[in-house]
Structure 1
Amino acid sequence: MASVVSKPDPRDAQLGRARVTDTDELRQFYAELGAHNADAFWNRANAIEPWEPQSRYNPTLWKYAEMRELCLRAVELVRPEDAGRRVVTLLNDSDAGRANTAVCGWLFSGLQAMRPGEITPAHKHTASAHRFIMEGGGAYTVVDGHHITLGKNDYVLTPNGCWHDHGVAADGQLSIWQDGLDIPLMNCMESNFYAVYDAPAQTPGFPADDLPLSYGGAMQPDGVEAWARPFSPTMVYRWEQVRDAIWNFAKVSDGSPFDGHIMRYSNPRTGGWALQTMGAHMQMLKGGLHTRAHRHTGNVVYNVAQGRGYSVIGGRRFDWAEHDIFCVPAWAWHEHVNLDASEEAFLFSFNDFPVMEALGVRIEEALEDKDGRQQVQA
């Protein structure tokens, strides 16, 4: 059994870290351990217990103009009923991303395009899912019999274990949205199940948009059965309401030095995250804003809802425009810049923060030197 090799770190040469010098006798001992499917912990300790998080993923940017063309080619080449889900998968620019079918960390993402009259056959799975609508009209989803209409920049939930199908009305427009799922996490935990519905699509059992109309405001409905499921009953968060909420927040707050004015998509029943394993935010960068750099445990995938600018991630500059997608791996320094001096930029993002918080390992740190700004690599 080969020992794990890690890059030498001068901090490891101290009491409390593994610093054993190999000898012929030890090498023979390691071979004997290997024959019994075992190893010496000190050969692996420094690699599997790093001083700080070491992500296997890289900051990656997907330009929407390029990805949109690929989505349209997929529409021409493959029928949705044959693909199951006709999604162009976003793979992180790393060996881990390709091996785990991950956009960043244990998160999956892809772009799905549908023409008027098309459907994605109904199914369910252990993985939780959510979607951010990027363009089109007449799109909808049906989740456990609840029909939900979708518009540009809306954010919609597909909680784990729920039957769901998607489509675009016959009189609608070509629609494209970004999918986000925790498939890599479920597969890592070896807990993923998948099932196909006994019909191509569900027959809605409730009035259209009944859940967002009941739970999408600041008040809670009385006279109906109490919502007891572990995800948000709102199901869809309309762009106009989200944008207005951030504008109102900006009237009374300076916002975050790291994220501008940022608000989470929350469960109105609990105030917590809308889903159990993935969280999401919308943030607004005022005209000309250049945020300070920080880093945190947990991975974040961004979609530019509006505006143009750039982000510095791990010392590298990534320029973005509307509906470009980029990711920030765990523990990577990052800061954002709105290049428009007079117009706000809006960034939608989703993350694995609920998992970090449930495990008690969500940690955040500000960059203290260089006025909180990174030095950009050439």
Structure 2
Amino acid sequence: MNNNSNGVREAFYQRIDKINLFPLWEQLHNLVPREPAGACVPALWRYGDVRPYLMEAGELISAQEAVRRVLVLENPALRGQASITSSLYAGLQLILPGEIAPSHRHSQSALRFVVEGQGAYTAVNGERTTMSPGDFIITPSWAWHDHGNPPEADGGEPVIWLDGLDIPLVRFFDAGFAQNHDVDAQPLSRPEGTSLARFGHNMLPVNHAPGSRSSPIFNYPYTRTREALDTLLQHEQVDPCDGVKLRYVNPETGGAPMPTMATFMQLLPRGFHGAAYRSTDATVFSVVEGSGVAVIAGQRLAFGPKDTFIAPSWSPINFEAQEACVLFSFSDRPVQQAAGIWRESRDLA
């Protein structure tokens, strides 16, 4: 039966469009593709290009006025959406000596990965932690948080970190809330280091009852992570795709530090030529040390220290390291795993 020769189908489509209907059979191949066909594309932001603009922003607007002085890293294929991937946001934040980024809280979960400078702090739910390059710091959903940097007289220097948030995910669910604190710097209720002492040594307080799906540790220091990577490099077999790769965990559950974002750190040995792999979680990488090349969907992205780059969903990726490289990365893998849709392929030869 073919009623399309005289435009019967097209007339039908026009009639049902008036009551907000459309025929599935005309879009089924787009709605249920044979494999992921995401909108985001491979991209790299060179730190040497971005940093001058960050410092210029520091002259144009204060942290107090901006609330968060951040330059957002937008995927070239997702301009205007404040998204580095379809589900994640990323930006580089600057705080200058003597500044406070005022305390607030929001539904979105956030991570901070320190790129440059030290001596600044983040306060989360009544406890401060001092930031150093390579530290991974979390701000759980609906947790009070503010950032500060000691004045020049106290030896302060500009501090820059990578922000990663699940803003697009929360926006998709229309579940975003935010609230400003009554004071810029929240009152402190615990001395610095309390969370790490209680939860950071493979032990838990005997009477502790989990109260959140996020990790009770909110600063994972780089010194400890780097030591672990070096030890494993000496004593373990190097993975053909990842080199030496570790995932950060919530010590209460063994899962990701936050329910919406997984975080990783990996070491690529000098001369590493990795095998290609791909996965459905689009991944944001921040280069901690070293230089190399990420080959993503056939594109060669040469990276150096402090650069940021993105591997889209289901795009083949492999690494080449002229020298030893350390890469931090994050993705929405916990959400995909919870939904039972995460997939990886490591046999692309």
TM range (shorter): over 0.9
1:168-183 matched pairs, under 5 angstroms: 168-170=149-151, 171=154, 172-183=156-167
Cross-structure match for 2:335: 355
Q: Does 1:335 align with 2:315?
A: no
RMSD in angstroms over aligned alpha carbons?
1.4
Alpha-carbon shift at residue 225 of structure 1 (Å): 3.5
Partner amino acid, structure 1, of 2:174: E
Residue number among 168, 172, 184 corresponding to 1:200 in the alignment: 184
1:14-25 matched pairs, under 5 angstroms: 22-23=4-5, 24-25=7-8
User: What is the distance in 1 between the residues matched to 2:65 and 2:235?
Assistant: 51
Q: Does 1:65 align with 2:45?
A: no
The structure-2 alpha-carbon separation of the partners of 1:313 and 1:208, relative to structure 1 and needing over 3 Å to count, comes to same
Could you say what secondary structure the match of 1:347 adopts?
strand
User: What is the distance in 1 between the residues matched to 2:305 and 2:4?
Assistant: 55
Cα deviation, 1:205-264, whole Å, max 9, x if unaligned, reads 111121122222233333x53343211111111111001111222233213221111000
Percentage of identical aligned residues: 35
Cross-structure match for 1:189: 173
Under a length normalisation based on structure 1, what TM-score does the superposition of the two structures give?
0.88
Q: Does 1:34 align with 2:25?
A: no
User: What is the distance in 1 between the residues matched to 2:129 and 2:146?
Assistant: 11
Cα deviation, 1:292-323, whole Å, max 9, x if unaligned, reads 00111011000000000010000000000001
Alpha-carbon shift at residue 48 of structure 1 (Å): 0.9
Partner amino acid, structure 2, of 1:323: K
Residue number among 108, 123, 127 corresponding to 2:89 in the alignment: 108
Structure 1 segments (4+ residues) deviating >4 Å: none
The structure-2 alpha-carbon separation of the partners of 1:255 and 1:28, relative to structure 1 and needing over 3 Å to count, comes to same
User: What is the distance in 2 between the residues matched to 1:217 and 1:22?
Assistant: 70
The structure-2 alpha-carbon separation of the partners of 1:30 and 1:284, relative to structure 1 and needing over 3 Å to count, comes to same
1:1-378 matched pairs, under 5 angstroms: 22-23=4-5, 24-94=7-77, 97-170=78-151, 171=154, 172-222=156-206, 225-340=208-323, 344-369=324-349
User: What is the distance in 2 between the residues matched to 1:22 and 1:188?
Assistant: 37
Q: Is the 8 A contact 1:105 1:329 kept in 2?
A: no
Q: Is the 8 A contact 1:296 1:331 kept in 2?
A: yes
Could you say what secondary structure the match of 2:231 adopts?
helix
Unmatched tracts of structure 1, length 5 or more: 1-19, 370-378
Alpha-carbon shift at residue 367 of structure 1 (Å): 4.3
Partner amino acid, structure 1, of 2:104: H
Alpha-carbon shift at residue 99 of structure 1 (Å): 3.3
Partner amino acid, structure 2, of 1:90: L
User: What is the distance in 1 between the residues matched to 2:202 and 2:208?
Assistant: 18
User: What is the distance in 2 between the residues matched to 1:217 and 1:240?
Assistant: 14
Cross-structure match for 1:17: none
Q: Is the 8 A contact 1:263 1:282 kept in 2?
A: yes
Could you say what secondary structure the match of 1:173 adopts?
coil
User: What is the distance in 2 between the residues matched to 1:26 and 1:229?
Assistant: 54
User: What is the distance in 1 between the residues matched to 2:208 and 2:64?
Assistant: 36
Partner amino acid, structure 2, of 1:363: R
Under a length normalisation based on structure 2, what TM-score does the superposition of the two structures give?
0.96
User: What is the distance in 1 between the residues matched to 2:97 and 2:24?
Assistant: 58
Partner amino acid, structure 1, of 2:314: W
User: What is the distance in 2 between the residues matched to 1:357 and 1:257?
Assistant: 23
User: What is the distance in 2 between the residues matched to 1:98 and 1:295?
Assistant: 24
Q: How many residues align?
A: 344
Q: Is the 8 A contact 1:138 1:149 kept in 2?
A: yes
Could you say what secondary structure the match of 2:41 adopts?
coil
Q: Is the 8 A contact 1:105 1:330 kept in 2?
A: no
User: What is the distance in 1 between the residues matched to 2:139 and 2:332?
Assistant: 16
User: What is the distance in 1 between the residues matched to 2:31 and 2:258?
Assistant: 30
Cα deviation, 1:134-180, whole Å, max 9, x if unaligned, reads 11121111111111111111000001110110111222211010100
User: What is the distance in 2 between the residues matched to 1:345 and 1:268?
Assistant: 27
Q: Is the 8 A contact 1:282 1:348 kept in 2?
A: yes
User: What is the distance in 2 between the residues matched to 1:228 and 1:98?
Assistant: 37
User: What is the distance in 1 between the residues matched to 2:253 and 2:227?
Assistant: 22
